[in-house]
Chain A
Amino acid sequence: MLKLNVGLSRKVGEANYGSRGASVHLELEVESTLAADAKTLQERIRSLFRLARSAVDEELTGHASTGSPSANGPSNGHPSSGSSNGATRPAPRPATASQVRAIHAIAGRLSLDLTGELRSRYGVGYPEQLSITQASELIDALKAQPAGNGSHR
């Protein structure tokens, strides 16, 4: 079997320098024969991204359920999708999509248990729940680790 793993994050700004974000990660197992059929494989991947995009859009337009672990709320570690971190409650800005992508890339390279690392360091389950500063710290910390030194999956 092949595993397709796609992720999508998006942030929207709000008034008074507020913002909110949502992200979704999808994993799908497909027949390994698809590896030889690049066109169909690509279409499956596109389809997953379309699904992810639709879910994120829905989340950000306010149709999502509260407490989804995939959403960035106003405070790190306390997801609350669809809520705003506007003027009345300034909060750390969620990690950028570039940082989230880098964290996944480093964790993959180190064969790291990213969820465990995030829980032990910051008490969150997803890199999207980190602030920009926390994400920068984590990236620096992970980059300093030699390959194979992490908690393996």
Chain B
Amino acid sequence: MIASCSEPAASAVPLTGRDYLSFTSLSTYRRCPLAWRFRYVDHLPEDRIRSSLAFGGAIHAAIEHWFRGTLAGELEPGVDELLEAFWAAWHDRQEEAQIDYAQGENASTIHSLASRVLEAFVASGIARPAGTVIGVEEELRGPVIPGVPNLLVRVDLLVETDERLIVVDFKTAKCRWGPTSAEEQAEQLLLYATLAKRLVPEKSLQLQYVVLTKAKSPAVQVVTVPADAQRIDRTLRAARNVWQAMQAGHVYPVPSPACRWCPFRRPCQNWRG
């Protein structure tokens, strides 16, 4: 049984200014509590972003454009139209922060890669899933853990079939996921599952990552995560503990190779504990 405390939403507002917890907030804290504090408590500006993150976000925007259009009965957009959506999202991001290209990257190589990835997506079965699309970038919110503020998630794609609800999250990656990747990444979809289940409680859930590889010949890989009840419970308990640590103000830096891309390098160096 998970312990509870009263009015979790009320206790979240003074801490972060929000009355909910997002998956991103939870995962940021687990990666580096100090980075979480800079982003969610101190609201420090983030003036730099890795190109890989901007790329993933822009591919998401293009895929969202595809599914919103097909859900609304529009003609399937061509890759050129998807690229327009990609670049619109990229430029929006660029207005917020400087995008740091990796070595050898430039706008032309990004365009070429995005084009290949989107062509692979359009040609794949996932672009025309069997079943009925009921959610595209669907925001779900609700209480999932007693004593913890409402969880807010944004699900990339929800597809309903006669037997199940398929919860899909798109990822871009340098290469195909290995056998352990689904396990390592499972928690995101397991948290999504707790809210998605409420949409169609009578049906079973199927949790899928769709991995689009950023390769010369991109692959579209479907990786299924078992919606295991025990694993979901473990994930919820971990989220509760993270929330309690957030509330208690436990912040500290977690040095890692990712620090060189962190937008909070300077405040981190100046942090005195």
Footprint of B on A, CB under 8 Å? 10-15, 17-19, 90, 93, 96-99, 101-102, 105-106, 109, 132, 135-136, 139-140, 142-143
A96-B255 Cα distance, complex, nearest whole Å:
41
Q: Specify the chain A residue showing the minimal Cβ separation from B131.
A: A136
The answer to whether A17 and B134 have CB atoms under 8 Å apart is no
Cβ contact of A102, chosen from B72, B139, B142, B158, cutoff 8 A: B72
Stretch binding the partner chain, chosen from B23-31, B191-199, B233-241: B191-199
B80 / chain A contacts, CB cutoff of 8 Å? none
B150 within 8 A of A: yes
A15 / chain B contacts, CB cutoff of 8 Å? 143
Q: Specify the chain A residue showing the minimal Cβ separation from B136.
A: A98
A143 / chain B contacts, CB cutoff of 8 Å? 73
Considering the complex, which residues of chain B in the window 190-217 have a beta carbon less than 8 Å from any beta carbon of chain A? 195, 197-201
In the complex, how many angstroms separate the beta carbon of A122 from the nearest chain B beta carbon?
17
A135 / chain B contacts, CB cutoff of 8 Å? 134
Query: How many residues on the B side are at the interface (Cβ–Cβ under 8 A)?
Result: 27
* Interface majority SS (helix, strand, loop, mixed), chain A: helix
Given contacts A13-B198, A98-B71, A106-B73, contact A136 B134 (CB under 8 A): yes
The answer to whether A139 and B73 have CB atoms under 8 Å apart is yes
The answer to whether B160 and A136 have CB atoms under 8 Å apart is yes
A97 / chain B contacts, CB cutoff of 8 Å? 135, 138-139
B158 / chain A contacts, CB cutoff of 8 Å? 96, 98
B93 within 8 A of A: no
Contacts across chains A and B counted by CB atoms under 8 Å: 78
B141 within 8 A of A: yes
The answer to whether B134 and A98 have CB atoms under 8 Å apart is yes
Cβ contact of A96, chosen from B74, B135, B143, cutoff 8 A: B135
In the complex, how many angstroms separate the beta carbon of B64 from the nearest chain A beta carbon?
10
A17-B134 Cα distance, complex, nearest whole Å:
18
Given contacts A102-B68, A106-B73, A132-B200, contact A13 B134 (CB under 8 A): no
A99 / chain B contacts, CB cutoff of 8 Å? 71, 134-135
B132 within 8 A of A: yes
In the complex, how many angstroms separate the beta carbon of B32 from the nearest chain A beta carbon?
29
Q: Mark B117-153, 1 if CB is under 8 A from A, else 0.
A: 0000000000000001111111111111000001000
A115-B82 Cα distance, complex, nearest whole Å:
32
B134 / chain A contacts, CB cutoff of 8 Å? 96, 98-99, 132, 135-136
The answer to whether A14 and B143 have CB atoms under 8 Å apart is yes
Determine which residue in A102, A135, A136 has the highest number of CB atoms from chain B within 10 A of its CB, and name it. Answer: A102
B138 / chain A contacts, CB cutoff of 8 Å? 96-98
A93-B197 Cα distance, complex, nearest whole Å:
11
A46-B3 Cα distance, complex, nearest whole Å:
40
In the complex, how many angstroms separate the beta carbon of B16 from the nearest chain A beta carbon?
16
Cβ contact of A18, chosen from B71, B133, B198, cutoff 8 A: B198
In the complex, how many angstroms separate the beta carbon of B173 from the nearest chain A beta carbon?
26
